[in-house]
Amino acid sequence: MTISRNLSLVGTNASSNGTVSITSGTAVASTSGTSINFTDIPSWVKRITIMFNGVSSNGSSAKLIQLGTSGGVQTTSYNCTSGYMGASSAFASFTTGIGINSIGAANIIHGSIIFSLQNTSDNSWVAQGVVGLTDAAYNIITAGSKTLSALLTTIRITTVNGTDAFDAGSINILYE
């Protein structure tokens, strides 16, 4: 059996030969501050990968990814579950962002979380990803969703309590 589909690329990121390029943001050192923002995300973006390379903070609050529009970063109505697995395991729900459930202070995170535009008519985004800890033998899985009030323009990485400061590593995004 053969299944064929016509593919139509729409947007300014589609080249003349039909390929879609992946655009890299600029890596940001996560060595200070309580949040890191990636702004001016183009309106044609349908997928964003957030990459963590040795990211740590000075406290034990879980990392949190929040989405924003031209009206600001949205901090409510997320649906997310995240859990860690290793010598022990625990899962938590998050409603103020897409959470990365951590096991304690000074966790060092490596990995990525991918956001995909699920429905263009209501700006619904779904997220999923896996990160690992290099300071402990644990993996953290995350999955969730958020419907925005307008087009996505901003990604914010912070912590649940909003006061823990980043103290190591770097974060970058890829978008397509």
Extents of the domains making up the chain: 23-175
> In this structure, what token pair is assigned to residue 48?
């964003």
For 109-167, how does the pLDDT look when each residue is reduced to its tens digit (9 = 90+)?
Answer: 999 999 999 999 999 999 999 999 998 899 999 999 999 999 999 999 999 999 999 99
CA dist 139 → 7, 17, 54, 102, 106 (Å) = 36, 39, 14, 9, 15
The residues with which 121 forms a beta bridge, in sequence order, are none
Per-residue pLDDT, 13: 53
CB count within 10 Å of CB 12 equals 7
Of the pLDDT bands very low, low, confident and very high (cuts 50, 70, 90), residue 1 is: very low
> Are 53 and 169 spatial neighbours (Cβ–Cβ below 8 Å)?
yes
What residues contact 28, with CB distance under 8 A and at least 6 apart? 36, 38, 170, 171, 172
For 11-37, how does the pLDDT look when each residue is reduced to its tens digit (9 = 90+)?
Answer: 445 545 566 789 999 999 999 999 999
Can you tell me whether residue 65 is helix, strand or coil?
Answer: strand
Q: What class does CATH assign to 23-175? A: mainly beta
- Considering all CA atoms of the chain, what is the largest pairwise distance in Å, rounded to the nearest integer? 57
Per-residue pLDDT, 103: 75
Per-residue pLDDT, 7: 36
For 53-98, how does the pLDDT look when each residue is reduced to its tens digit (9 = 90+)?
Answer: 999 999 999 999 999 999 999 999 999 999 999 999 999 999 999 9
What residues contact 1, with CB distance under 8 A and at least 6 apart? none
Q: How far apart are CA 64 and CA 51, in angstroms?
A: 13
Per-residue pLDDT, 3: 45
